[in-house]
Amino acid sequence: MQQRLSSPRDQIKPAYDVVVVGSGYGGGVAASRLARAGQSVCVIEKGKEFLTGEFPSRLPELRHELQINGGKMRSGSHTGLFDFRIGADIHVLVGCGLGGGSLINAGVALKPDPRVFADPVWPQEITDDGLLDLGFGRAAAMLRPARYAKAAELTKYRALEAASAAFGEGPIAAPVVVSFEDNVNPAGVSQPACTLCGDCCSGCNVGAKNTVAMTYLPDARAHGAHIFTELVVSHIAKEADGWRVYFAPSDAKDASLSFVEAKTVVLAAGTLGSTEILLRSRERGLKLSDRLGDGFSANGDIIAFALGGTEKVNGIGVGYPPKYVGDAIGACVAGQIELPDAHHLDRSMIIQEGVLPSALAPLLPVFFISGGRLLGAAHSLIKGVYQGPLSHLHTFFVVSHDEAKGRIRLDNGSATVEWPGVADEPVYARVDQALTRAAEAVGARYIKSPLAVTSMGTKPATAHPLGGCGIGEDASAGVVNHKCQVFDGEGARVHGGLYVCDGSVVPRSIGVNPLLTISALAERAMIHLARDHNLGFDDLPRARAEASS
């Protein structure tokens, strides 16, 4: 039986060696590595813990897990799994729960083009000390990206192959952090094989996705970390010999703040979350770089669709237990077309085919087919979605590059992104052109995200927010140094015992889905932290016997 990782909040101790705020990739890496190094570790996560089988699989459940925040707009629970941030210029979707974005992502795990790290925006040590490669290796050993061996047999992969005629470049199987065979993973957790149900982006109810909640967090817990959920950190404050981390129950209105003390704090609340905590801390007097909030990138991340082609796609999940039995769907992403540009890195792009979660099925006729409400009434949903016109729906995820010119600032105490003119970033026109050609190659009509033109206005949206606490040489260039230590605002001097480890430290777009890079940078930071503090840890897999003892 799957073990719950979180403890009741009244068990939180007054002080720990380390407090980790947030539990996505950066937080998971920090908690696992520092617990292995013998530190007393406390993880504080804003969202809920979901066990396998508890993820939303029907539309009402999905709605219940949606929180929308932005300006004066606010709906849903503060612990909703899907955290939509509405911005004046661009919208952002992030995951909220124990495991962060890993719970609802597609799990594509790619290393960036080496030209990304050759950009002088990164301090030289990042490429020179060899630890980034070690970090990539350690992250891959824990998360285990794999290409599905029979990807080319999936209907949706063949549909992508047909679309790829537009580019003269065929697809290849995409590496995803999914277990395609029964196994005991390096954290000692048993995982069954993927059922190819396609519902990765609403949460894996099989237990086959190698999320942070299946890997780094159980590893941290097995090495003594205390994990608490549904607690939101408001700010941190420096004390004579360490830090105070102020928090409150996530959903309690006007609750008074409690605090926990720590010698070391690792902020890992995600691009928006960590930047938000530091902005609020600065308002209360903490000295930080003036660059805080700058350098936000949407990673050239786009979701778009094509409909009306002659061939079937099978791009809508069936969930688990399956709502419809037919041909296998496949993990959310099985194939991708890589379109590198040898001369202009920023023009490189990767087009991935994606699957929409089964819980969204009742909404799809409304979004995609004129008179869809009537169609929904006339046909059974099953027929309409899995056999009718919507079985020909292509979903495309694209990653590329932008200029990272967004700025995160506080609005009513919460992070919002400002980026006037972002919709004119050249990446959006380039992707529109490419996807129009892909759609034409399969006789389909290209559709920009229908979400973008309905409830959220015609603004770009991203699920890959990066930056805000970017790595740089010193406080004039970044918010943290190459070891992810936070600058105190004066040159290259840092605050002792304060780190940021998550997507916010990435100072530019990376042109690939970011989970592996975020994890690698966090692994690298933990190696440095251990060296600087004479700590040691191994990264050996846990044996199953040890796990069950």
Ligand X SMILES: Cc1cc2nc3c(=O)[nH]c(=O)nc-3n(C[C@H](O)[C@H](O)[C@H](O)COP(=O)(O)OP(=O)(O)OC[C@H]3O[C@@H](n4cnc5c(N)ncnc54)[C@H](O)[C@@H]3O)c2cc1C
Cα separation of 389 and 367, whole Å?
A: 13
Q: Find residue 446's DSSP bridge partners.
A: 306
- Cβ burial of 451 (10 Å; 0-12, 13-18, 19+) is middle
Structure-token match 């009741």, residue found: 8
Name which position in 16, 19, 20, 23 contacts ligand X (CB under 6 A): 23
Choice between 91 and 482, CB closer to ligand X:
91
For ligand X, the closer CB: 85 or 528 = 85
Choose the stretch contacting ligand X; rule: CB under 6 A; options: 44-52, 164-172, 385-393, 443-451: 44-52
What residue 209 binds from ligand X, ligand SF4, none (CB within 5 to 8 A, per partner kind)?
ligand SF4
CB of 55 to ligand SF4, least distance (A): 8
Interacting residues of 215 by C-beta distance below 8 A, sequence separation 6+: 28, 142, 143, 185, 186, 187, 189
267 is an interface residue for ligand X by CB under 6 A: no
Binder of residue 335, out of ligand X, ligand SF4, none (CB less than 5 to 8 A by kind): none
Q: How far is the CB of 513 from ligand X (least distance, A)?
A: 3
Strands 414-418 and 407-411: antiparallel
Closer residue to ligand X (CB): 431 or 547: 431
Q: Is 511 among the residues that bind ligand X (CB under 6 A)?
A: no
Find tokens 């992707």 and name the residue. 431
**Residues 474-503 contacting ligand X, CB under 6 A:** 502-503
CB closer to ligand SF4, 19 vs 93: 93
Query: Residue 208's binding partner, choosing from ligand SF4, ligand X, none, with beta-carbon cut-off 5 to 8 A by kind?
Result: ligand SF4
For the bound state, the minimum distance from the C-beta of residue 42 to ligand X, rounded and expressed in Å, comes to 12
In whole angstroms, the minimum distance from the beta carbon of 532 to ligand X comes to: 22
Least CB distance to ligand X at residue 519 (A): 8
456 touches ligand X by CB under 6 A: no
What's the CA gap between 234 and 26, in Å, rounded? 19
Among ligand X, ligand SF4, none, the one that 195 touches (CB under a kind-dependent 5 to 8 A) is ligand SF4
Q: Which of 464, 482, 524, 528 binds ligand X (CB under 6 A)?
A: 464
SS3 call for 416: strand
Q: How far apart are CA 140 and CA 25, in angstroms?
A: 12
List the one residue from 463, 484, 500, 525 that touches ligand X (CB under 6 A): 463
Residues 54 to 93: which contact ligand X by CB under 6 A?
93
Q: Select from 481, 94, 492, 505 the least CA-distant residue to 267.
A: 505
Which is it for the CA torsion 212, 516, 483, 94, positive or negative? negative
Using the rule CB under 6 A, which residue among 518, 521, 526, 529 binds ligand X?
518
In this structure, how many other beta carbons lie within 10 angstroms of the beta carbon of residue 234? 16
Task: By CB under 6 A, tell whether 302 contacts ligand X.
Answer: no
**Which listed option, ligand X, ligand SF4, none, makes contact with residue 21 (CB within 5 to 8 Å by class)?**
ligand X
| Tokens describing residue 202 | 């609403």
Nearer to ligand SF4, 194 or 385 (CB): 194
Query: How far apart (Å, rounded) are the C-alpha atoms in residues 81 and 66?
Result: 6
Q: Which residue, 188 or 273, is less far from ligand X as judged by CB?
A: 273
- Given the rule CB under 6 A, which residues bind ligand SF4? 178, 194-200, 204, 206, 208-209, 320, 331-332
Q: Rule CB under 6 A: say whether 49 interacts with ligand X.
A: no
CA nearest to 208, candidates 155, 144, 154: 144
Please report the beta strands in 404-526, taking only residues with DSSP state E, as ranges in sequence order: 407-411, 414-418, 445-448, 461-462, 485-487, 494-500
- Confirm if 390 and 316 have CB atoms less than 8 A apart: yes
Site for ligand X, residues 98 to 157, rule: CB under 6 A: 100-102, 104-108
Amino acid at the residue 356: L
Torsion of CA 21, 81, 458, 445, to 10 degrees: 130
Beta-carbon neighbour count of residue 72 at 10 Å?
6
45 belongs to the binding site for ligand X (CB under 6 A): yes
Q: Which of 405, 398, 453, 383 is nearest to 429 (CA)?
A: 398
Q: Smallest distance, Å, CB 445 to ligand SF4?
A: 27
Quick one: the chain helix, strand, coil %, rounded to 5?
A: 30, 25, 45
Chosen from ligand X, ligand SF4, none, partner binding at 101 (C-beta under 5 to 8 Å by type): ligand X
Confirm or reject binding of residue 528 to ligand X (CB under 6 A).
Answer: no
Give me the least distance between CB of 40 and ligand SF4, in Å please. Answer: 34
Nearer of residues 200 and 288 to ligand SF4, judged by Cβ = 200
Q: Which residues bind ligand X (CB under 6 A)?
A: 21-26, 44-47, 93-97, 100-102, 104-108, 201, 232-233, 268-271, 273, 277, 463-464, 502-503, 513-515, 518
